[in-house]
Amino acid sequence: MNEQTRLSWTDVRDEIRARILSRAYAPGDKLPRDEDIAQELGCARSTVHRAMQDLSQIGLVERKRKGGTHVRADPVTRATFDIPITRREVEQRGSIYSCQLISRTVEQTPLPIMARFGITHPAEMLRVKALHLADNRPYIFEDRWIDVGSMPEILDVDFSLESANEWLVHNKPYSRLDVRFSAMNAEGESARYLDTPTGSALFVIERTTWIGAEPITTVQAVAAPGYQLVAQN
């Protein structure tokens, strides 16, 4: 007559989710207190808590300290994307990776770049343009700004050996990140380097990183036509 095994938090999560899917708990409804659910299902409160943590993460429920747990009335679609180093991305597709350094200059940051970093005074930064290739065909064109002040050693790195992308990822972890996706028409450099007609629709990833409040790097990566980003899960 006893339960065969103890309940795991995934069991609890699945049960609660099932109730939400079946509208036993309808959108906007308040769920019972964790403790009551625990008692009903026969597990510890922390197990329910762990389950709720997951459902809350996914965006299915909303929890507040005294307000209790509610089924979200306007659920959002929440998706997580992993953006690997370009080398890995190419290699995992089974292609040969290579990279061309296009230019390497030191410039004062123009206004749009200052805006990305959220700084109010211009700074001298290293600007590196590079083209990533898969099987010798253009894959991603990147235009990157790197703060020199916080890492003077960057000036000695030979980016023809290791791309700026890789060097930074291996040598400069960040503590804050901003990522944006958009679309743009190929023109000028992007069209030329990606070897695509002017006007092609290109997928753009813009990434900016900081350590604390200190700028590290910002990059606009423009992918060749056909690029698609798929969510994990």
Partner DNA sequence: GAGTGGTCTAGACCACATG
Partner DNA sequence: ATGTGGTCTAGACCACTCT
Residue 9 CA to residue 96 CA, distance in Å, equals: 43
Q: Which spans of this chain sit near DNA (rule: CB under 7 A)?
A: 6-11, 31, 33-35, 42-47, 49-50, 52-53, 56, 63-69
Binding mask 123-162 for a copy of itself (x = CB under 8 A): ----------------------------------------
Assess contact for 132 and 163: CB atoms under 8 A.
yes
Binding mask 43-82 for a copy of itself (x = CB under 8 A): ----------------xx------------xxxxxxxxxx
Residue 122 CA to residue 22 CA, distance in Å, equals: 56
30 lies in the binding site for a copy of itself (CB under 8 A): no
Cβ nearer to DNA, comparing 64 with 121? 64
Pick from 108, 180, 195, 213: which binds a copy of itself (CB under 8 A)?
180
Cβ nearer to DNA, comparing 36 with 124? 36
Residue 70 binding: pick among a copy of itself, DNA, none (C-beta 5-8 Å cut-off by kind)? none
Residue type, 170: H
Q: Residue 18 Cβ, how far from DNA at the closest point, in Å?
A: 17
Q: Residue 201 Cβ, how far from DNA at the closest point, in Å?
A: 40
Long-range contacts at 2-10 (CB < 8 A, ≥ 24 apart)? 3/42, 6/43, 7/41, 7/42, 7/43, 7/47, 8/47, 9/47, 9/48, 9/50, 9/51, 9/54, 10/51
Pick from 98, 100, 150, 200: which binds a copy of itself (CB under 8 A)?
200
CB burial string 161-177: b at 16+ within 10 A, e below: eebbbbbbbeebebeee
Phi then psi for residue 232, to 5 deg, are -75, 140
Residue 132 binding: pick among a copy of itself, DNA, none (C-beta 5-8 Å cut-off by kind)? none
Signed CA dihedral, 174, 106, 118, 151: sign only: positive
Residue 80 binding: pick among DNA, a copy of itself, none (C-beta 5-8 Å cut-off by kind)? a copy of itself
Q: Beta strands 124-134 and 68-71: pairing type?
A: unpaired
Cβ nearer to DNA, comparing 76 with 111? 76
